[in-house]
A = this chain, B = another copy of it.
Amino acid sequence: MPKVSQAHRQMRQQQILEAAWRCFDRGGVQATTMQDIIAESGLSASAMYRYFEDKEALIVAAITASLGALGKLLQPIFDDVAIPGPAELATRIAQRVDAFVASPGYDLRAIAIQGWGEAQHNDDVRAAISGFYAGFRDRLAVRVRAWQKAGVVPRSARALDIANVIQAVVLGHVVQGAILGDVDAGRIVRGLDGF
The chain A residues found within 8 Å of chain B, CB to CB, are 25-31, 85-87, 110, 113-114, 116-121, 126, 129-130, 133-134, 137, 144, 148, 153-154, 156-159, 161-173, 175-176, 178-182, 187-188, 190-195
Contact = CB atoms under 8 A, between A and B. Distances in A.
Contact of A187 (B26, B29, B130, B161): B161
| Copies of this chain per assembly | 4
A116 B25 CA distance: 13
A134 B180 contact: yes
Contacts of A114: 117, 120
Contact of A170 (B25, B172, B178, B182): B172
Q: Is the interface of A mostly helix, strand, loop or mixed?
A: helix
Listed from nearest, the 3 A-B pairs whose CB atoms lie closest are A168-B172, A30-B30, A157-B194
A195 B162 contact: yes
Contacts of A162: 191, 193-195
A113 B120 contact: yes
Contact of A194 (B29, B156, B170, B176): B156
Contacts of A28: 30, 117-118, 120-121
Given A113-B120, A126-B179, A157-B191, 4 more contacts: A129-B179, A157-B192, A164-B182, A195-B195
Contacts of A154: 193-194
Given A113-B117, A118-B28, A194-B153, A164 B187 contact: yes
A171 B175 contact: yes
A157 B121 contact: no
A165 B189 CA distance: 9
Nearest to A147: B194
Nearest to A86: B195
Contacts of A134: 180
A31 B29 CA distance: 10
